[in-house]
Amino acid sequence: MPVLTRLIPSPVVVDIRPGALNDLAGVLADQRISSSGKLAIAISGGSGAVLRERLAPALPSAEWFEVDGGTLDDAIKLADAMKKKGRYDAVVGLGGGKIIDCAKFAAARVGLPLVAVATNLSHDGLCSPVATLDNDAGRGSYGVPNPIAVVIDLDIIREAPVRFVRSGIGDALSNISAVRDWELAARERGEDIDGLAAAMARQAGEAVLRHPGGVGDDAFLQVLAEGLVLTGIAMSVSGDSRPASGACHEINHAFDLLFPKRAASHGEQCGLGAAFAMHLRGAREESAYMAQVLRRHGLPVLPEEIGFTVDEFVQVVEYAPQTRPGRYTILEHLDLSTDQIRDAYADYAKTIGS
């Protein structure tokens, strides 16, 4: 008997709109995620305080937990504190990437579902089955269940610094390059490609690429937020980060590893990496269009725009394949020498124009 369909691991609630946070308790009650309102809410001590003050009256049965940072220790501490305090229906991670990653890990540890309430759109991890946490060895990715609910209040997103929205744009656009790398690996190496995961990730990237709006418009933010959520679900579908991570992310990791003190944001590096990777694979027009869109949103397309020299960028690209052993992308495929990378970069810079 053939398998006729498959079930997709995905949140029960996806609520993305202006004012979504005002109805949080009601949405969770309606969906039977928390009928009693007994929630363990993880929030940052700093920027979270204002939100807590605003939301606390509407969530009288909730318990609030301050999270210090984004380390594995912080996540374990959070889980231990929740265990000591009492019983809850669900854990709510209310904040940016670090808080949500900590809450994801803690929720998995105490065996409760996670509600992700993102207060910025800096990357596609807000709805993914991975918690990224700093540990003694640097940074680790920990597999966790997908959030049961994702809530994004566009009013809150607009209040966050614009660099967070820009970072999310770069991360979303990089899907287009990542999926092309996946197709290359399928062609050249016989790697399995999950067509559904690839479709979701690519459509998310294309929608952001072609949307005429800007970082201050609700219509654009809606598409960006939905794109990042769908990208997280695409990673759940494929069971790894393939749909959203190829040469673009190898270049991003190489920036982080070679220049830890000077690295730019995740999405700035991924966007630049994606535009360059598109050029490397011969998609010159697509690369130039992607660069034009990145520029329009205030994102860098040349290394000097984030404070790196051409030599440093060449070094980054050369080192990039080592950051993800076993992942086959356009970088591994071309296996360029230092001089070839330098020539390719000169051609890229000329093609996209300054």
In the bound state with Zn ion, the residue whose beta carbon lies nearer, of 21 and 272, is 272
By CB under 5 A, is residue 268 in contact with Zn ion? no
By CB under 5 A, is residue 256 in contact with Zn ion? no
Q: Find how far residue 275's CA is from the centre of its chain.
A: 18
Q: Is residue 25 within a helix (H) or strand (E), and if so which, with residue range? A: helix 24-30
Contact 177, 274 (CB under 8 A): yes
Q: What is the DSSP letter of 36?
A: S
* Listed ranges 169-177, 256-264, 291-299, 330-338: which one lies at the site for Zn ion (CB under 5 A): 169-177
In the bound state with Zn ion, the residue whose beta carbon lies nearer, of 113 and 321, is 321
What is the smallest separation between the CB atom of 309 and Zn ion, expressed in angstroms?
24
By CB under 5 A, is residue 250 in contact with Zn ion? no
In the bound state with Zn ion, the residue whose beta carbon lies nearer, of 15 and 171, is 171
What is the smallest separation between the CB atom of 281 and Zn ion, expressed in angstroms?
19
Q: What is the DSSP letter of 23?
A: G
Size of the site for Zn ion (CB under 5 A): 1
Pairing status of strand 149-153 against strand 13-17: parallel
* Listed ranges 168-176, 188-196, 213-221, 341-349: which one lies at the site for Zn ion (CB under 5 A): 168-176
Contact 270, 263 (CB under 8 A): no
Rounded to 5 degrees, φ, ψ at 66 are -85, 135
What is the smallest separation between the CB atom of 33 and Zn ion, expressed in angstroms?
27
Please select the residue that binds Zn ion; options are 74, 101, 171, 268, rule is CB under 5 A.
Answer: 171
Contact 324, 273 (CB under 8 A): no
* Closest by CA position to 119, among listed 63, 149, 161: 161
By CB under 5 A, is residue 153 in contact with Zn ion? no
By CB under 5 A, is residue 101 in contact with Zn ion? no
Chain residues binding Zn ion by CB under 5 A are: 171
